[in-house]
Structure 1
Amino acid sequence: MISGSIVALVTPMHDDGSVDWQALSRLVEWHVEQGTDGIVAVGTTGESATLAMDEHKMVIKACVDQAAGRLKVIAGTGANSTAEAIELTATAHDVGADACLLVTPYYNKPTQEGLFQHFTAIANAVDIPQILYNVPGRTGCDMSNDTVVRLAEHPNIIAIKDATGDVPRGKALIDAVGGKLDVLSGDDGTAMELMLQGGKGNISVTANIAPAGMKAVCDAAMAGDRAAAEAANAPLLELHKVLFIESNPIPVKWAMYAMGLMENGIRLPLTVLSEACQPTVRSALDRAGLLDA
């Protein structure tokens, strides 16, 4: 099963925007050492929107090869073209990914029936565990709980990443699917509470810079230990907020640069974190004890 602390991994880049393959390998290795349960390669945080198709496939393969079975690798293979999503998902299957993460189609705003048919077509086409991903604030497309319940009947659809930040809605979905698929949080600020309500893990931006801390939160919350989960989450609360001071992954990539984990590369139309916001992020890193990490 895919559960626990799962990092929505950035795609490290050189200052010219080219992929830094050596840094990517180092980051995967670091997450193995820190106890991260899984990584999402080339999701939203991995700048899937601006990686070319060939690069997208190469990053997935590089993560699978470096992980070498020591943690789960979930390939971000969603698209607003069903055919493109099937192509990426087939590649993930072929290179040995453990599962795929499929975001709701963005911009073209399908109906609920369109969403059902889109995800069903992908699940029928490629025999690999698949995780739905609902993040309406980013895509302009909101998949209803009823549609998720319908999709839960497909054997290849095993989970959903719920990034709505709406814990009561997430709890209602957990109850509605009746164990037919797992509900994972995709919102760091509310992840602890959703896991205490029965969520099976968190696909996290914060885990890029505080993997051990996020692992502790997930382990405690999934065990139902509220006191331990709150204690582990307390040092991360400010990070959960400041990492979205500008559009993700702008702040987290700059934070990783400040920590010495990679160069300061990002691709247009995203830009390097503004000078006005840099002191805020640096202060949060310092208070979390991460600048000496």
Structure 2
Amino acid sequence: MIDNKLNGLIAATYTPLDDNGELNLDPIAAMTEWLIAQGISGLYVCGSTGEGMSLSSDERRRVAEAYVQSAGGRVPVIIQVGHNSLAEARQLAAHAQQIGATHVSATCPSYFSINNVNTLVDCMAEVAGGAPELPFYYYHIPALTGSTLDMVEFLKLGGQRIPNLAGLKYTDTKLHEFQQCLELDPARFDVVWGCDEMMLGALATGATASIGSTFNIAAPLYLGITEAFHQGDLVEARRLQSLSVEMIRTIGKYPFHAAMKAVLGMKGFDLGGCRLPQGRLPESDVSTLRQNLESIVFFDWSQPEIHAAT
């Protein structure tokens, strides 16, 4: 039984870097304050968005500590600890528990492929055991890990062998599998949606929480989608979701996370670029991206007054 299920919009946070690509933790406090003020109800740290896989374990610890401190217990902080070394992942999970994180999450090892559910459960049991007091969420993102195993079967078997298995961060587009996971054992498992441009479909399927990158730059838009859906105004919900799709398509014309950091810079948060292989968006592209976003009126409807957008 999960006493603290996730809910609402959980921002997959970015990791600030300086001009040399080194950690710059100073903006995290202001970024956290702004996200909470925008209606964000949780922080997901060192995931794909936060370049967890491009950071050293020591850097990941420092980033985790900064976000836990800046949140100050006001919203859940989920630390992503996945690593190709299960020993490293387990140590990162133990650190997350030690510093006061509320949840821990992990991708599976991806260099050597995992071809069966039993092996996946064994791997995640090793990681989750590092933080036995925290709810553990397996981070299912087959586009990056290459693991396309059946998540219903994972929950069934994992529920027997991982005492603190709380659910999934489900970052795939298979709404039918997502629905089966939601319905498998609602009292035990919390399944969180992870595909921003399909959030309306996930809400219709039963999602109560979502984790997303673009929540950093347009939380009011997604709150509007959620509100319209729950009010039964599907025309408005679809209109707002269409804005999300258009925004993501616009940003996706560039290296996505480098472009997202550029957009955050336009909103007043200098988080630097990304580490290789993602890199930093050239200034010429930043200028073009701004023009592209202005052409879709992004800077108007991504603000809290989006309900007045036309």
TM-score normalised according to structure 2 size: 0.85
The 5 Å alignment of 1:86-105 reads: 86-105=90-109
Distance 1:196 1:140 in 2: 27
* Unaligned segments of structure 2, at least 5 residues: 304-310
Secondary structure of the residue that 1:7 maps to in structure 2? strand
Is 1:160 aligned to 2:164, yes or no?
no
Q: CA deviation at 1:2?
A: 1.3
Deviations 1:126-163 (A, max 9, x none): 22111111111111122312123322344411121111
Q: Aligned letter for 1:251?
A: A
Corresponding residue number in structure 1 for 2:66: 62
Corresponding residue number in structure 2 for 1:197: 205
Is 1:214 aligned to 2:187, yes or no?
no
The 5 Å alignment of 1:166-177 reads: 166-177=174-185
1:48 alignment partner, one of 33, 48, 52:
52
2:298 alignment partner, one of 283, 288, 291:
288
Sequence identity (%): 26
Distance 2:288 2:229 in 1: 28
Pick the structure with greater CA Rg.
Answer: 2
Corresponding residue number in structure 1 for 2:10: 6
Corresponding residue number in structure 2 for 1:119: 124
8 Å contact from structure 2 (residues 218, 302) kept in 1: no
Q: Alpha carbon RMSD of aligned pairs, Å?
A: 2.4
Paired residues in the alignment total: 293
Secondary structure of the residue that 1:209 maps to in structure 2? helix
Once the two structures are overlaid, the 10-residue window that deviates more, 207-216 or 85-94, is: 207-216
Distance 2:232 2:81 in 1: 32
1:238 alignment partner, one of 219, 236, 246:
246
Q: Aligned letter for 1:38?
A: G
8 Å contact from structure 2 (residues 82, 89) kept in 1: yes
Distance 1:232 1:244 in 2: 18
Distance 1:218 1:292 in 2: 15
Q: CA deviation at 1:232?
A: 3.8
Secondary structure of the residue that 1:180 maps to in structure 2? coil
Deviations 1:222-253 (A, max 9, x none): 77764553344343221233333344422211
Q: CA deviation at 1:279?
A: 5.8
Deviations 1:32-90 (A, max 9, x none): 11110101111111011221211100110110111101111111111122111110010
Secondary structure of the residue that 2:53 maps to in structure 1? coil
TM-score normalised according to structure 1 size: 0.90
Cα 1:168–1:278 shift into 2, 3 Å: farther
The 5 Å alignment of 1:73-88 reads: 73-88=77-92
